[in-house]
Amino acid sequence: MSEQDNLQDADGKLTINENKSAKVEVLETQEETSDHPDKIQDNVSDEIEANAPELTSDNEEQASVSEEDSNVSTETKKDAHVDEIEESNAEDAEDESNSERHSLEEKDYHAMSMEQLVIEFEKLLKHQKIQTIKSHVDEIKSEFNSKFTEVLEEKKEDFLNDGGDEIDFYYTSPAKKEFNTLYKEYRNGLNAYYKNLEANLKANLETRLQIIEEIKGLINVEENINTTYKHFKDLQEQWRNAGPIPRDKYNNAWNTYHHHVEIFYDFLHLNRDLRDMDFKHNLDQKLKIIERAEELAKDDNVNRSFRELQVLHKMWKEDLGPVDKEHREAIWERFSNATKTIHDKRQAYYADLDKAYEKNLERKEGIIEQINTVANDQGNTHQAWQKKIKTIEALRQEFFNAGKVPIKVNEATWSKFKEAVRVFNRKKNAFYKGLKKDQYDNLQKKLELIKIAEDNKDSDDFETVTPLMKKIQSDWKKIGHVPRKDSDKIWKKFKAACNHYFDRVHEQRKLENKDLYDAFDKKVKLLDAIKNLKLTGKSEADIETIKKKISDWKALGSVPYNKRYIEGKFNKALDEVFNKLKMDKSEVEMIKFENKLENLSQPDDTRLLDNEHNFIRKKIDEVKSEINQLENNLQFFSNVDDDNPLVKDVLNNIEKHKDNLNVWEEKLKKLKDMY
């Protein structure tokens, strides 16, 4: 594809061919603007400057452009907005892969954790060219080191608070180890790349200087002008394909090249047709470039416009030759004006971005104030500190998510944030240091109780040791927390010693009260039998069976005092059996009550009977009161038939309460017979 094919399509409109775009790399401008707060300088030229090829003294005269020369291009008169483009393209001239780094997605590394930063670093190394990720790696490194330093300081403070010696402190993490490995891989790869780049830059510069020398020599060649012109076009194509050269040599080399190209065109006055044809072609293409630049000046996407504008400037400068002198100043002025419009819009865009950064700064300063407030909170319990720790974690994450701040205050803001968190951590550590001391004291107290328990667990002096063992169990409950790592271990030791002693006490009591424990064991079996009792459905026979079980139960006698709960289980099981009987409920209730009275009857002790007597009297009074209330309610229905549903409901309730009253009065009669 020819140069003309790259510059225009079938309709004559300006295009940027994909192959040309691949050769003429575009820089992401956000990082190239010197006054933008997030500018990251590309130090490629610094890396190779010491060994970059210099123009020799023999070439200096040839490389300089005489200000007195009438052919000096208007394009050499630069303004700030053009300088910005020139500087960006000069960087591309040194390393054409520079622009690839600007196609990488911008990410908020500040909001990422150390583990997330390691993942992002690894992705860059695996999927991007080593020379294109410098700014991203630098930002990842800065954020990772800041976060790791914060953690390191916390760990060191904890270590010293626990009594450690500063000289013995060491801390790392899996994330830190992985980051170091990735960074070493990155540095090795980058060094190898720059070593190879340096050699290529030297060779390419020599090639370009040789091309300039050959162009200079064309005007002294005695040959057919058409042959000379074809040789000149070949040299131009070689220039375009000569590859990147050192940034600091780019403009000087181009100006020298352009100067001698213009001299050659002046030489072509011997054949004005060839020169005029080239001038006309260059003018047509530069006008198309201008038209495209003016379209871009109306685009609101300033970064996209600036990137394409860089390509247009490079095409103007490298792909096209001069135009007739009468047009040079006018077309350059027009192109420069379009460039200035885009430059000014871009500066306004970054001014607005700076305002957004100022708002982010306000948010971050507010978060720092909140952290200070939490740190000064007077809550001094474990629960209070746990709540504060969660609050601080949320505020830290909010700080990281708040976005970038102006570069001039970035470091100061980060320092204020770290100091606020550090103050909180110091107070937290001081609290837990005191808590650990209390827990250690509690541990010593519990260890002393364990010693007492183990020293007495095999004692036969039950009368003396039993109160002692009960006391130390009570003391254990009153002692506060111990370190978590010791809690389960010491509890198991204490519990084992106490259980061992009381198992021996219980065994001794069983021997002393063998009859009572035997009765308990038999009642357990009888209780299971009553729970599984199958009734025949014949009331009299079933009642006899139940009475027989009751009699058998009583015959077994008393149980140990601490086993008397079984009597309650027996009564509950009887209630369930009685409820299954197919007989009048009042009669069943009286049978159950008679059994209950026998259990309440104790020789020389009427307290249980007295309590039951009082309970029954109270129930009788309550039922009578309910009946009186219902009968009074009937007064409201004096003119209503007895068939009325409301009246019938009240009458039914009165009858039920009277039946209930009869049962309670019968119980009271039975109870009086017991005295």
Q: What is the mean pLDDT of the chain?
A: 79
Pair 296, 338: CB distance under 8 Å:
yes
Pair 247, 91: CB distance under 8 Å:
yes
Q: Which residues pair with 602 in a beta bridge?
A: 605
User: Could you tell me the pLDDT band of residue 292, with boundaries at 50, 70 and 90?
Assistant: very high
Judge whether residue 49 has pLDDT over 70: no
pLDDT higher at 4 or 374 = 374
* Separation of alpha carbons 102 and 37, rounded Å: 17
Judge whether residue 10 has pLDDT over 60: no
Judge whether residue 661 has pLDDT over 80: yes
Judge whether residue 63 has pLDDT over 50: no
Pair 186, 129: CB distance under 8 Å:
no
Q: What is the pTM of this model?
A: 0.43
**CA 401, 405, 409, 413: dihedral to nearest 10 degrees?**
-10
- pLDDT tens-digit profile of 547-601? 888 888 888 888 888 888 888 898 888 888 888 877 777 777 787 777 777 767 6
CB atoms within 10 A of CB 290: 22
- pLDDT tens-digit profile of 496-544? 999 999 999 888 877 778 888 888 999 999 999 888 888 888 877 888 8
User: Could you tell me the pLDDT band of residue 316, with boundaries at 50, 70 and 90?
Assistant: confident
Task: State residue 590's pLDDT score.
Answer: 80
Task: State residue 39's pLDDT score.
Answer: 30
Q: From 579, 577, 496, 471, select the one nearest 533 (Cα to Cα).
A: 577
Judge whether residue 638 has pLDDT over 80: no
User: Could you tell me the pLDDT band of residue 50, with boundaries at 50, 70 and 90?
Assistant: very low
Mean per-residue pLDDT, 131-148: 86
Judge whether residue 602 has pLDDT over 80: no
Task: State residue 91's pLDDT score.
Answer: 60
pLDDT higher at 218 or 366 = 366
3-state secondary structure 86-108: HHHHHHHHHCHHHHHHHHCCCCC
pLDDT higher at 398 or 27 = 398
* Separation of alpha carbons 403 and 419, rounded Å: 19
* Separation of alpha carbons 117 and 6, rounded Å: 42
Judge residue 313's burial from the number of C-beta atoms within 10 Å of its C-beta, 0-12 exposed, 13-18 middle, 19 or more buried: buried
Q: Any idea what DSSP says for residue 602?
A: B
- pLDDT tens-digit profile of 467-479? 999 999 999 999 9
Percent of the chain with pLDDT strictly greater than 90: 19
Listed as own residue / partner, the contacts of 551-558 with beta carbons closer than 8 Å and 24 or more positions apart are 552/526, 553/523, 553/526, 554/598, 556/519, 556/522, 556/523, 556/526, 557/515, 557/516, 557/519, 558/516, 558/519
- pLDDT tens-digit profile of 97-120? 555 555 677 787 877 888 989 998
Mean per-residue pLDDT, 628-649: 77
